[in-house]
């Protein structure tokens, strides 16, 4: 059953992108200010650094049979380019778009064009924060959202994608 679900859930009829080792490639993309994790508002985002999150993702990827391509940019255009690259180079995307979540139609359009399953991740529970953070453009293209579980949210997103790709 898992195999049939994986092919059907890919949704685009394309073979998932794989590395030489045969593992599906998952892009884990991080938006603005996430390079400041551990320093910026630790009472909201925690004390883990982005390097800590990357290690957690690599470990989860190994366990799940996924190849993790982990990236961060403060530039919206660079994130758009990476999402476009995912169309041919990745089987799925984990995206923490940071503040671009609430503002970026460009990221939404790129996700729709990429035609890859995307799981949206937020370290904090965006629905317990300011009203402007309650709206997500990313959710319109994502298969699901995980919010409020800190760095473990990335692992949960990878587990969800492992069932899909």
84's CB contacts (< 8 A; 6+ apart) are 110, 113, 114
Q: Pinpoint the alpha helices (H) of 33-104.
A: 42-45, 50-64, 76-89
Q: Helix, strand or coil for residue 23?
A: coil
Dihedrals phi, psi of 144, to nearest 5 degrees: -175, 170
Residue 133 and residue 162 in contact, taking contact as beta carbons nearer than 8 Å: no
Q: Cβ distance 146 to 119 under 8 Å? A: yes
DSSP annotation of 11 reads -
Q: Would you name the residues annotated as active-site residues?
A: 45, 122
- Sign, Cα dihedral of 15, 19, 22, 28: negative
């Amino acid at each position: 059953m898992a195999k049939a679900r994986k092919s059907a859930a890919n949704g685009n009829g394309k073979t998932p992108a794989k590395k030489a080792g045969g593992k599906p490639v998952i892009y884990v993309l991080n938006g603005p200010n996430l390079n400041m994790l551990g320093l910026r508002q630790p009472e909201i985002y925690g004390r883990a650094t982005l390097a800590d999150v990357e290690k957690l993702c690599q470990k989860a990827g190994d366990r799940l049979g996924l190849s993790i391509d982990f990236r961060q940019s403060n530039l919206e255009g660079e994130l758009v380019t990476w999402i476009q690259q995912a169309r041919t180079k990745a089987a799925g995307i984990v995206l923490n778009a940071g503040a671009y979540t609430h503002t970026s139609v460009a990221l939404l359009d790129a996700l729709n064009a990429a035609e890859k399953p995307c799981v949206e991740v937020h370290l904090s529970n965006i629905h317990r924060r300011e009203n402007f953070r309650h709206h997500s453009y990313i959710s319109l293209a994502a298969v699901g959202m995980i919010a409020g579980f800190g760095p473990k949210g990335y692992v949960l997103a990878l587990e969800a994608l492992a069932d899909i790709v």
